[in-house]
Structure 1
Amino acid sequence: MNSIARWCAAMAVGCTAAINPHVSKAEGFTGADFAGWEVASQDSYIQTSVTMAGVVLTQVKPERSSCIDDWYFGDAQKDARNAHIRKAIAQYGDYHPSGTILAILLEACGAIN
């Protein structure tokens, strides 16, 4: 397969992926939707969200990012943290799960400003 054909195939795959609806699209995605996922998928979403919050904070407030790392990963309580976060997301099922996760991180580590 030559490079032009590969490029065309890659573009077709990329365009298809870009225009197909995704499970976690922002409009209308709520904690109730999240609650319908398998626990492994929920845990992955939570860990990705917490990790990304820590990464963003390393650029804005490096001293605050270590709090998130310590709180979520530090004391080998990640499973308990995930269960707590899942429960909160279910409790606030009308809200986007990322907002609930952010509220929990702010409660655990304080304001980020």
Structure 2
Amino acid sequence: MLMSRFCVDEDLCLFSFYQNPWIMFGIKHGLTASIFSVFLIFSTQSYAGQNVKTNEFLTYDYATQDSFIGSTIWTAAVIATQIRQELASCIADWYTNDPDIMQERNAEILSVMKKLPDSYPSGVVVAVLQKKCGKFGGS
């Protein structure tokens, strides 16, 4: 099979990046997360106004809340892969793909939101994740 290579210098060839499965994994999932995030921004009510507080978010129907919480968690998990793999694994294990557990986790997050009506929904989701799995970075 004949393949061309684009080399910046003799040690850096772009073709060699595509041979590394970890780089391809990162590119594939990074693009997927980006597309998903753009879709989320244009389809979720809570992003209609950037200053939506939790008390307003709690008036949205459950499907919208569920979608927002789930996509925020999975976006955080993708970001966590770039910070610490064990953080990403913890988030994925905590939220899982089991619909019953996801519903329990969403109820837990919504319960915290009810106690913090003047906060922002995404901030509450990230705070709950950090409480469960550790900080994303900083002190």
Name the TM-score class by shorter chain.
0.7 to 0.9
Q: Distance in 2 between matches of 1:71 and 1:23?
A: 24
Q: Distance in 2 between matches of 1:23 and 1:85?
A: 16
Greater percentage in helix: 1
- Among 70, 80, 88, the residue aligned to 1:57: 80
Q: Distance in 1 between matches of 2:73 and 2:46?
A: 19
Two-structure CA RMSD over aligned residues (Å): 1.9
Residues 105, 23 of structure 1: alpha-carbon distance in 2 compared, 3 angstrom cutoff: closer
Cα offsets for 1:27-64 (capped at 9, x unmatched): x2100111010001100000000000000011121221
Q: Distance in 2 between matches of 1:90 and 1:65?
A: 26
Question: Is 1:82 aligned with 2:127?
Answer: no
Instruction: Give the match for residue 107 of structure 1.
Output: 131
Q: Which amino acid is 2:87 matched to? A: R
User: Which TM-score applies when normalising by structure 1?
Assistant: 0.74
Deviation at 1:106, TM superposition (A): 0.6
Q: Distance in 1 between matches of 2:125 and 2:46?
A: 18
| Structure 1, gaps ≥5 residues long | 1-17
Deviation at 1:91, TM superposition (A): 1.4
| Structure 2, gaps ≥5 residues long | 1-41
User: Which TM-score applies when normalising by structure 2?
Assistant: 0.61
Q: Identity of aligned pairs, percent?
A: 33
SS at match of 1:60: coil
Q: Which amino acid is 2:60 matched to? A: W
Corresponding pairs, count: 92
Larger Rg: 2
Instruction: Give the match for residue 71 of structure 1.
Output: 94
SS at match of 1:77: helix
Q: Distance in 2 between matches of 1:73 and 1:34?
A: 24
Q: Which runs of 4+ in 1 moved over 4 A?
A: none
Question: Is 1:42 aligned with 2:46?
Answer: no
